[in-house]
């Protein structure tokens, strides 16, 4: 039984590290968004990317905290990060 608990703890630690990576990505996306030039023919939707990263982060945190409930509605990721003008 201890082996199972150790495996669960290892998974939680690895997922927590992944959340830290997502937090770093969110910071980088914010920095890049601030530096992006305006009035481009093709625009990147930084807010959509941040929303999708946040959905992933929330899902991982829910799993880590074992708070997922059966039957919970999960929103799909957008994946639409740019427009052609």
Closest CA relative to residue 72, chosen from 85, 84, 55, 50: 55
| Residue 4 CA to its chain's centroid (Å) | 27
Q: What does the pLDDT look like over 33-68, one tens digit per residue?
A: 999 988 888 899 999 999 999 999 999 999 888 744
Number of domains present in the structure of the chain: 1
Range of the domain at 73: 2-84
Render pLDDT for 9-37 as a digit per residue (tens, 0 to 9). 899 999 999 999 999 999 999 999 999 98
Q: How many CB atoms lie within 10 A of CB 54?
A: 12
- What pTM value is reported for the model? 0.73
Specify whether the backbone of 24 is left (phi greater than 0), alpha (psi in -120 to 50) or beta.
alpha
């Amino acid at each position: 039984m201890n082996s199972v608990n150790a495996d669960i703890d290892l998974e939680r630690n690895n997922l927590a590290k992944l959340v830290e990576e997502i937090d770093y990505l969110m910071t980088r996306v914010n920095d890049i968004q601030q530096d992006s030039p305006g009035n481009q023919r093709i625009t990147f939707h930084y807010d959509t990317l941040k929303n999708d990263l946040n959905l992933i982060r929330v899902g991982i945190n829910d799993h880590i905290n074992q708070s997922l409930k059966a039957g919970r509605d999960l929103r799909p990721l957008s994946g639409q990060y740019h427009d052609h003008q």
